[in-house]
Amino acid sequence: MTELVQGLDQKILLSLAQAAAAILLCFSLVLLCRRFSVHVERETTLSLLRGLVQMVAVGVVLSLLLHGGVLTSALILLAMTFAAAFTASRRAPDIDDALLVAFYAVGAGASVVIAFMLVTHAITPEVTVLVPVGSMIIANAMNAAAQAMERFKSDVTSHVGQIEAGLSLGAEPRATVAPYVQSAVYASLLPRLDMLKSLGLVWIPGVMAGMLVSGASPVYAGIFQFIVVAMILTASGIAGLVATLLFRTRAFSKEAQLTLRPGRQES
C-alpha cells in the first residue's frame, strides 16, 4: 500500500513537472507574439492558471467519486451543462434570455446524445466513463449553440431592410428569417463536419489515444472514437438548431415587428 501511494506521488510530481514545461512553452509563444505587437500575456496567464486549477479540481472530484453511479454522473453533467450555458451566453451578451436559451440548447443536444449512448451501451454510467465522454458532448454543444446565436444575430442585423420589407408585404416573420436560420445552423455544424471528415487522416483524438495507451484494441478504439465524434456532430446540430429557433422567437415582438437591431438589445 505504501509503495502504491509513493508511486502515485511520483507520477503526480512528474506530471506537475511536465505541466510546468508545457506552461513555459506557452509563454515562449506569448513572447514571440509580443515581438509582433500581439499582446496576450494577461489572457494567456489567466487561461493557463484557470485551466490547470480546474483540471486538478476535476481530478480530485473524480477520485472522490470514482465509484459513483448514474445519479452522481447525472449531477456532475448537469452542473457542467449550467457552466456551459453560462459560458455560451457570455458570447452573446445582448441576446434576451441568452442564459436560458443556451441552457435549453446545450441541454437538448447533450441529453439526447448521452441518453442514446447509454441505451446502446456505447458508454457505461460509471463516473470515469460517462463524465469524460459527456463533457466532450456538452462542450461541443456549447460551442455550437454560441456559434449559431452569433451567426443568426449577425445575419439578421445585417439584413434589417430586407426583413422589414418582407414583413410589410405580409410575409410571416419566420419566413423572412428562414435563410438566416439555415445559415446559423450550418455554421454551427461546419466545424464538426470538418472534424469528422479529417478523423483518422489529420488527427487521432484523445479518446482513441488514451485507449491505445491503456492497451485497447486499435480497431475497437478507432470505432469507439468514430462513435464519439458522430455523437458530437449530432449534439452540435441539435444545440445549434434549438438555439437558433429559440433566438428567432425573441427577434420579433408579439405584433410581428422586428426588434433585433444593430447595436441594440432585444426587448
HEC per residue, 146-199: HHHHHHHHHHHHHCHHHHHHHHHCCCCHHHHCHHHHHHHHHHHHHHHHHHHHCE
Same domain membership, residue 197 and residue 217? yes
Helix (H, G, I), strand (E, B) or coil at 246: helix
CA distance 109 to 120: 17
129 falls within a domain: yes
Where is 5: in which H helix or E strand? Answer: helix 2-35
Determine, yes or no, domain membership for 262: no
Residue 215 gets the label, from left (phi > 0), alpha (psi -120 to 50) or beta, of left
Same domain, yes or no, for 123 and 141? yes
Residue 78's identity, in one-letter code, is L
263: region left, alpha or beta (phi > 0 left; psi from -120 to 50 alpha): left
Whether residue 54 is found in the same domain as residue 69: no
Is residue 176 located within the same domain as residue 51? Answer: no
Same domain, 7 and 99: no
Residue 25 and residue 145 share a domain: no
- Is residue 30 left, alpha or beta, with left meaning phi > 0 and alpha meaning psi from -120 to 50? alpha
Q: Are residues 53 and 107 in the same domain?
A: no
Distances (CA, A) of 32 to 10, 41, 49, 70: 33, 11, 20, 47
Within a domain: 219: yes
Domain, as residue range, for 213: 65-249
Sequence-ordered list of residues with C-beta below 8 angstroms from that of 245, at least 6 positions apart, any chain: 181
Q: How far apart are CA 182 and CA 230, in angstroms?
A: 21
Mean pLDDT by runs of 10 across the 267 residues of the chain is: 55 85 92 88 91 85 70 88 92 78 95 94 84 92 93 89 88 91 93 86 69 73 86 94 91 83 57
Judgement on whether residues 221 and 161 belong to the same structural domain of the protein:
yes
Q: Do 205 and 93 fall into the same domain? A: yes
Instruction: Report how far residue 124's alpha carbon sits from residue 63's, in angstroms, rounded to the nearest whole number.
Output: 17
DSSP three-state, residue 30: helix
The residues, any chain, with a CB within 8 Å of residue 44's CB and separated by 6 or more, are 26, 27, 30
pTM (global) more than 0.85: no
Residue 4: predicted pLDDT = 45
State how many domains the chain has: 2
- 256 lies in a domain? no
Q: Exposed, middle or buried, 238 (CB in 10 Å: 0-12/13-18/19+)?
A: buried
